[in-house]
Amino acid sequence: MTDTIERIKCLIIGSGPAGYTAAIYAARADMHPVLYTGMEPGGQLTTTTEVDNFPGYPDGIDGPAMMIDMQRQAERFGTKVRIGMVTEVEFSKEPGGIHKACVDNATWVEAETVIISTGATAKYLGLPSEQRLRGGGVSACAVCDGFFYKNQEVAIVGGGDTAAEEATYLANICKKVTMLVRGDEMRASKAMQHRVTSTKNIDLRYNTQVDEVLGEQVVEGLQMVNNKSGEKETIEITGLFIAIGHKPNTDIFKGQLDMDSMGYLVTEGKSTKTNLPGVFASGDVQDKEYRQAVTAAGTGCMAALDAERYLSTIEKTEEKEVTAN
């Protein structure tokens, strides 16, 4: 007796706001989506204690709770949510072709359409104290979490455009922002550097790195070290923001899908279409600009609609071919 490979109409890889929103729309369109959660079910929001800027939650909501809500909504319409990680893919290059995906290095499935929502992983410093206090004052998104530190003293690590932008954003709502730049100059554009240096409540520290994040349950302070002199200094802060970049989770798609120099998937125009027919990308895996839950959800919706239209086009083409024969 031979094993049969499961055929899926719509395969969704990833379970953040993009993946679950895509699942909701795909399920309502009778595409019977199957979603594999990946290593981090719920995505980056599961590491956020409170989400205060997603529409529909006037009192805010706990990040993991919000993702459970999204999962339940997707399942209510018939989405099959499965714990597992897609570890290998073989995409077809032909319109109407069947795509293949291997789950947990063991089981292969086939899909008529694939929606990639694998997200991007924020880069952290790797300090044990930093990892321990993630969600307790250590954050990789100032726009997401900065509001909770209004009129407080915080620190931010990084020297690029994103760090400069987030530092000036924090300076508008926080009492003081200490900015730690590892080198002797910022990597940010001259315009962004000027914004930082002209903002009075940003204390810019060159050649400075984090030595230790202080606090047991929440961030209470920061021990910094000058990487030239070796001199250490401790400051009191309530929040630490890491802005040293993100890594898109696209390794398994290399060689098959078009990516930019940073590894983000490239989509056509305002659509979620990749360079291969029937394969779509949504959320942070193709968005290095905004990286918000609400924008990820929006592109998840777009991906499902694009997939539905693609299937409709394929079906019409096949009908014409049958009629012609």
DSSP labels, 4-24? PPEEEEEEEE--SHHHHHHHH
pLDDT exceeds cutoff 50 at 108: yes
Other CB atoms within 10 Å distance of the CB of residue 230: 7
CB 169 within 8 Å of CB 196: no
Predicted local confidence at residue 3, as pLDDT: 67
For residue 145, pLDDT over 50 is answered with yes
Tokens of 113: 């359409």
Q: For residue 33, how far is the Cα from the chain centroid?
A: 21
Whose tokens are 């990597």? That residue is 187
The candidate with the shortest Cα–Cα distance to 168, out of 213, 200, 125, is: 200
pTM beyond 0.85, yes or no: no
Helix residue ranges, H only, the chain: 17-28, 63-76, 128-132, 142-145, 161-171, 190-197, 293-324
Q: What angle do CA 237, 239, 243 make, to 5 degrees?
A: 120
Tokens 């880069």 — which residue?
A: 123
DSSP code at position 266: P
| Predicted confidence band of residue 49 (pLDDT cuts 50, 70, 90) | low
d(CA 306, CA 301): 9
Catalytic residues: 141, 144-145
Output the pLDDT for position 2: 45
**DSSP per position, 47-105:** G-S-B-SSTT-TT-B-HHHHHHHHHHHHHHTT-EEE---EEEEE---STTPPEEEEETT
Question: Average pLDDT for residues 183-198, to the nearest whole number?
Answer: 94
